[in-house]
Structure 1
Amino acid sequence: MTSSFEVVVAIDFGTTYSGYAFSSTYDNEKDPMKISSNTNWIAGTAGLMSMKCPTSILFDKDQKFLNFGYEAEDKYSNLALDNVHRDYHFFKQFKMSLHKHPDLNRDTVIEDETGKTMKAKTVFAAGIRFLKTHAEDLINTRGISVEEWEIRWVLTVPAIWSDAAKQFMREAAQKAEIMNDQLLIALEPEAASVCCRYLPDAKGSDIFKSGSKYMVIDLGGGTADINVHQVTDNGKLRELHKASGGAWGGTKVDASFIRLLCAILGDDVMDTFRVKHAGDYIDLLREFEVKKRSVKEKMESSVNFKLPLALTDLFEKMKNKKIPEALADSTYSEDVTSTADKIRIRPNLIQGMFRDPLVHLEDHIRCILARPEVRGTSTFLLVGGFSESPIVQETIKRKFPRMKVIVPPECGLAVLKGAVIFGHNPETISARVAKFTYGIAISKPFIEGHHPIEKRKATQNGVICTDMFYKFVECGESVDVDHKQTMSCSAGRGCSTNRVRVYRSTAADPIFVTEEGCNLLGEVILTRETDLNISQKIDVSLTFGGTECSVEAKDNQSGQSFKSKFDFLNT
């Protein structure tokens, strides 16, 4: 697994912001933290420069890709000013659709900002292709001579994502012309953990000594991703508790701000404003993004927001009154006031916008710390873009006073930089904890009075009990990354493809694959150029300890390998 590539490029495709970083194998061997990235994404209308760009993407009416990032937002804003934007497809903060979609498949569609739909894979692939091309251009500009096949690509995903969502991102990357054998999936909190090991102020400390335990709290735009790691004797990392978390990222605060405006101005006004004045709506959110980064637990001054003139005019036209009147009539009259073209929000109200995600985060952390396997954890590593917020840092420190809370410099880039290091040496992580119980459906001889009658089936070889769960890995079990579970199965009659169905369960020891909490995870597909004989035995080896579930298959007699893969996206 150690990298044999000349350059590793990591792409962090985030909910709110995206970016990339890279390093050569030569530089990584000398200094793993010698990592380059594009640090001058420029927002034309706001004059902003940032280390990442917004995860925004624009297509024309024929669904042809136009722009990504700040350029997509600025182009869409200009189209809106000319009132010709309605036929375009503009997507913003769409990554969480993969986490929320209950039946994710290759044909899943997502809605843009105005409700028009496109295939999700087309949208994601276009964004990945843009970042890939941008990275290749910068690598060439830096004078690094490398062939395309000499690059390893690393794509980061939240650790709490489903196997289907991970596969979806892999296939989207392939659609973006990243070869499958050059692509590595990295889990975001793991990547951040790898990065933090190389921070200057962490060297020689007790945090990363053998046997130490620490919690990685990765707070992004969409999700809070939490891992607990222990340093092994050989310096590698072992996961102690299965990756967990929820949709408690920074976009929750944005949603609270929009809800406040809706409560004061009206849902109809805000919906019309978002559609008819898309550019001003984007500028409003950009301003809030800047202002919310200054919110603290203790602050005396109100926070001022400039309302776009288009919003003011629209409100007066639709409601036939002035905004100060609306504020006076609202339930927020004591906490929100207006001055000229601005509204002023008192500290307690804007602080309250952070309450919901932070309460969920605190409760979840306490539940994890109560687990016996994580006892002795004394350090929090706080990473991700949302972790840059002062009120987030202050709240975590106040709620967990006995914990040492480390917030690395540029914590919003910790995932990205760690993913580069992970790409050079994926064996940094030695074991992970299974989030589910994994197994397959098998049949056993039917036992009268023991097995349910509805599972009884008569066959040529006798009476059998169907749908029994054959367990490979148990929920909560620590699984080495290279540990394989092997089973032998018979090939289908005269066919070139054989499928083995794999199930997962939330229970530790399920009996049948039809039980509550148990569902079909996907299929293992085995393909061979020649037909398979019904008596032919195939050894199928499944690996559940990697960032993705993987499979390989061999002929039991000849040792010849089959083409084999998991399919979690079969419609």
Structure 2
Amino acid sequence: MEPSSSGFNYADYPVIVGIDFGTTFSGCCYAFAQNEEVIDIVKWPKQNNHVYPKTPTLSLYRKGSTQLVDWGHGARRQAMKPNSVDFLLLSKFKLYLDEHLQQEALPNNLQVIDVIADYMGAFHQHVCTELLKGFAGNYDQSKFRYCLTVPAMWSDHAKAAMREAAIRAGLVQRGDHPERLMLISEPEAAALYCEKKSEQFNLVHGQRFMICDAGGGTVDLIVFEIDQQMGGRRTLKEVTNGHGGSCGSGFLDLRMREYIKHKFYHFGSINDSAMEHIMDTFVNIIKPEFDGYEDHFLDLPASMGLGDLTDESIGLENGSLCLPANELRDQVFEPVIDQVLQLIEGQLVQSPNNLEAIFLVGGFGQSNYLFRRVEEAFANRVGMIGVPPRGELAVVRGAVYFGLNPQIVTERVSRRTYGVETRMLFNKDLDPPEYSVVGVDQKTYCRQRFSVYVQKGQSVRVDECVSKNFVISYPNDTDSDLFAFDGEGPPPRLTTHQLIKKVGHFPIRMPTLEGVRPGDKVNMTIRMYFGLTEIKIECVIRDKTFVFTSSFDASDAYGSVQPQNESDYPGSQQMMPPPTAGLAPPNPYGLSDPSGSQVSLHGHQSSYTYGTSMSTPTMVPAQQAAGYPQAGGYPPTSSVYGGGYPPVQGDYYQQQQQQQQQQQQQYSQGYPPSQSYYSGYPPASQGYPPQSGSSYYGQH
């Protein structure tokens, strides 16, 4: 594999490790770059002959402590012991990064990034032990690079938090090149796996297929098109704006608990160990086998003391409870599966033509009943509905395929509208007078205009680069901000608008340049790539390139990460206004963009120009940036649940309340699961569920 354009040499890291950090289970595979054979890690600590190739995403802490006691199977086992009152079992903590769910603080004053880092650290240590057994000392962990999967619906902030957690967990060092740790969206990874297996499905150039990745917590969907020019290698292009919802199979478990509680309501409450026994039977036997037609029978655990009881009113005969197919269907399965069908419908609407296949992957994707319902609903609209072999490993195996060949996906659809803050000629009909400012050319400009770099829904090639040139006085440092708009329709004109969020602040430090005197003008280019899983930003000064990934998005919250070698930088001074270069008016806010309004997207034949007036990106020190939300006050991005409502005007907490009301209305239609269900998931003693208003960034 070639070194990347930004100077990362893949050959230095011959071992590729794929990690699927899941809501309910996590998995890992690896491969050697030279032979590309993917090897699954199937041995997990304390797994007791379980053959499932993944390990539970569970962490155990002592009450009042932030020290991890155990993880995975061991955490569950310890928590089930009779004397475990001093312990907290944390589950489904990945959902804390989903900004669409209401959140409350974790117990023990734990922070979500640290909880994920603790789990990943223990998980990674085990993975390294397993890998190094097989290598017989040929390699060590310094030769590994990583590909980590993230939900398609996660915001830039959530991805940045995941990268930060992986660094804290010790997968990579803070000073490593960002490409040593790659992120890939889960349905995209699953698509690579299905494409590899697609010889058996006979998919050819130009055909499209949908991935429905149904796991324990979330269901993610996306449509890809196979691209194979004559004699060339097969690559994939994203066709739709991938989206998803929180309607994984964990919500079936939730409904099952409610259903069983309701059944035995007149016997009083069911003790915890009896309920766990019943749920084990549901999870391991009923859930995978349920087909919608056949009744199931549940032998009640002895601890319920109902061994020889018969109660026809609830279908109990000699301690065996009949669960009629129609009740399981209507009360447990349908409300959740209906949401999955609506998500599939949403993708079909975005890509109505040429859809050859729907592939069901993930643990929930193996459900017979889900397969049957998808077939009933969509068989007449797509070529085939397939469940690939080992679908529960599709995501993590696909992550390794991506690590082996990151160029396999050539085009992605932007999930948000991104841009920078600029000055443009003042329009008295549209721009507020208080934003007007007179330039040295005596023309009136509007400050804080939102200059769009890439539109939501726009297809962007992975190598497509938005490039801007600036002039800066040596040896000054500078910084820049990236803004995003999540709504539909034309983006607002001003970055101060309620719906425009600042998603990134990246500091650019002037390197030491030989033979350049203080005050000399230095050219600098900022290149932004929007076609990758994370936004990548490169800043080029002379022959030096600085690379930022979405970790810049987290920098305000986590404290800025300094470049490694302090001595390379001659120190920071006040920024001076740059020369006008005969084009742009002087910019009191920082840098000048001598190129005028032209925004060139390299890698396409054409150049797009957004807006015809002069655009000078303003690079503002963070504290001056208008309307920047405080760490932790990031309002959720607009809903993925199909409503697409933008956050409401007004302050953040008012937005939260109104959003909750809107969600409540949506919930009352059965989509997603109703709030009352959510409140018992998992038991409250485990410090869950998340509710509104928690700030999980910047409390360290």
TM range (shorter): 0.7 to 0.9
Write the deviation string for residues 245-272 of structure 1: whole angstroms up to 9, x where unpaired. Answer: 21121111111112224445679x87x9
* 2:61 matches 1:35: no
TM-superposed CA distance for 1:17, in Å, is 0.8
Give the 3-state SS of the residue equivalent to 1:422 in structure 2. helix
- Aligned partner of 1:362 in structure 2 is 341
CA distance in 2, matches of 1:337, 1:250: 25
CA distance in 1, matches of 2:217, 2:288: 20
CA distance in 2, matches of 1:98, 1:534: 45
Q: Is the 8 A contact 1:385 1:412 kept in 2?
A: yes
Q: Is the 8 A contact 2:274 2:301 kept in 1?
A: no
Change (3 A) 1:516 1:498: closer
* 2:174 matches 1:216: no
What is the aligned counterpart of 1:505 among 455, 467, 486?
A: 486
TM-superposed CA distance for 1:488, in Å, is 3.2
What is the aligned counterpart of 2:188 among 190, 194, 206?
A: 190
* 2:503 matches 1:524: no
Which AA in structure 2 matches 1:496? Answer: D
- Aligned partner of 2:418 in structure 1 is 438
Give the 3-state SS of the residue equivalent to 1:50 in structure 2. coil
TM-superposed CA distance for 1:450, in Å, is 4.1
Query: Where do 1:147-162 residues align within 5 Å?
Result: 147-162=140-155
Give the 3-state SS of the residue equivalent to 1:522 in structure 2. strand
TM-superposed CA distance for 1:93, in Å, is 1.7
TM-superposed CA distance for 1:286, in Å, is 3.0
CA distance in 1, matches of 2:261, 2:471: 61
Change (3 A) 1:133 1:369: same
- Aligned partner of 1:54 in structure 2 is 56
- Aligned partner of 2:73 in structure 1 is 70
CA distance in 2, matches of 1:363, 1:410: 25
Change (3 A) 1:428 1:362: same
- Aligned partner of 1:16 in structure 2 is 24
* 2:291 matches 1:291: no
Query: Where do 1:88-127 residues align within 5 Å?
Result: 88-100=87-99, 110-111=105-106, 115-127=107-119
Give the 3-state SS of the residue equivalent to 2:509 in structure 1. strand
What is the aligned counterpart of 1:176 among 145, 161, 169?
A: 169
* 2:553 matches 1:568: yes
Give the 3-state SS of the residue equivalent to 2:375 in structure 1. helix
TM-superposed CA distance for 1:408, in Å, is 0.9
Write the deviation string for residues 115-169 of structure 1: whole angstroms up to 9, x where unpaired. Answer: 5541111110111112211111111222352122211111111111111111111
Q: Is the 8 A contact 1:479 1:544 kept in 2?
A: yes
Give the 3-state SS of the residue equivalent to 2:526 in structure 1. strand
* 2:472 matches 1:472: no
Which AA in structure 2 matches 1:193? Answer: A
TM-superposed CA distance for 1:195, in Å, is 1.2
TM-superposed CA distance for 1:492, in Å, is 9.1
Which AA in structure 2 matches 1:429? Answer: V
Which AA in structure 2 matches 1:550? Answer: K
Write the deviation string for residues 16-55 of structure 1: whole angstroms up to 9, x where unpaired. Answer: 1112111222331xxx4x42322566544xx633211111
CA distance in 1, matches of 2:418, 2:302: 53
Which AA in structure 2 matches 1:222? Answer: G
TM-superposed CA distance for 1:384, in Å, is 0.6
- Percent identity between the two aligned chains: 23
Q: Is the 8 A contact 2:236 2:408 kept in 1?
A: yes
CA distance in 2, matches of 1:542, 1:146: 35
Query: Where do 1:226-245 residues align within 5 Å?
Result: 226-232=221-227, 233=229, 234=232, 235-245=234-244
Q: Is the 8 A contact 2:277 2:301 kept in 1?
A: no
CA distance in 2, matches of 1:386, 1:284: 19
Q: Is the 8 A contact 2:58 2:91 kept in 1?
A: yes
Query: Where do 1:132-147 residues align within 5 Å?
Result: 132-144=124-136, 145-147=138-140
TM-superposed CA distance for 1:241, in Å, is 0.6
Change (3 A) 1:188 1:117: same
* 2:492 matches 1:484: no
CA distance in 2, matches of 1:213, 1:57: 40
Change (3 A) 1:205 1:411: closer
- Aligned partner of 1:349 in structure 2 is 327
Give the 3-state SS of the residue equivalent to 1:49 in structure 2. coil
TM-superposed CA distance for 1:432, in Å, is 0.3
Q: Is the 8 A contact 1:191 1:416 kept in 2?
A: yes
TM-superposed CA distance for 1:539, in Å, is 1.8
Change (3 A) 1:167 1:292: farther
- Mind listing any 5+ residue stretches in structure 2 that lack a counterpart? 3-9, 558-630, 632-700
Query: Where do 1:252-291 residues align within 5 Å?
Result: 252-264=251-263, 277=272, 282-291=276-285
TM-superposed CA distance for 1:536, in Å, is 5.1
TM-score normalised per structure 1: 0.83
TM-superposed CA distance for 1:100, in Å, is 3.6
Change (3 A) 1:454 1:120: same
CA distance in 1, matches of 2:373, 2:320: 29
Q: What is the RMSD of the two structures over their aligned residues, measured on CA atoms?
A: 3.3
Give the 3-state SS of the residue equivalent to 1:96 in structure 2. helix
Change (3 A) 1:394 1:482: same
- Mind listing any 5+ residue stretches in structure 1 that lack a counterpart? 314-321
TM-superposed CA distance for 1:494, in Å, is 7.8
* 2:273 matches 1:248: no
- Aligned partner of 2:535 in structure 1 is 549
What is the aligned counterpart of 1:391 among 354, 369, 376?
A: 369
CA distance in 2, matches of 1:215, 1:126: 34
Give the count of matched residue pairs. 527
Structure 1 or 2: larger strand share?
Answer: 1
Write the deviation string for residues 84-110 of structure 1: whole angstroms up to 9, x where unpaired. Answer: x3433321122111114679xxxx985
TM-superposed CA distance for 1:499, in Å, is 3.0
TM-superposed CA distance for 1:295, in Å, is 4.2
CA distance in 2, matches of 1:448, 1:475: 28
- Aligned partner of 2:643 in structure 1 is none
Deviates more, 1:537-546 or 1:413-422: 537-546
TM-superposed CA distance for 1:178, in Å, is 1.6
Deviates more, 1:68-77 or 1:89-98: 89-98
* 2:184 matches 1:206: no
Give the 3-state SS of the residue equivalent to 1:241 in structure 2. coil
TM-superposed CA distance for 1:370, in Å, is 2.5
CA distance in 2, matches of 1:436, 1:398: 34
TM-superposed CA distance for 1:460, in Å, is 7.3
CA distance in 1, matches of 2:186, 2:194: 13
CA distance in 1, matches of 2:519, 2:59: 50
Q: Is the 8 A contact 1:490 1:534 kept in 2?
A: no
Write the deviation string for residues 383-432 of structure 1: whole angstroms up to 9, x where unpaired. Answer: 11101111011111111123301101111111111111111111110110
Q: Is the 8 A contact 1:56 1:91 kept in 2?
A: yes
CA distance in 2, matches of 1:135, 1:109: 32
CA distance in 2, matches of 1:471, 1:308: 65
CA distance in 2, matches of 1:241, 1:305: 46
TM-superposed CA distance for 1:368, in Å, is 2.2
CA distance in 1, matches of 2:355, 2:182: 29
Q: Is the 8 A contact 1:526 1:563 kept in 2?
A: no
CA distance in 1, matches of 2:217, 2:371: 17
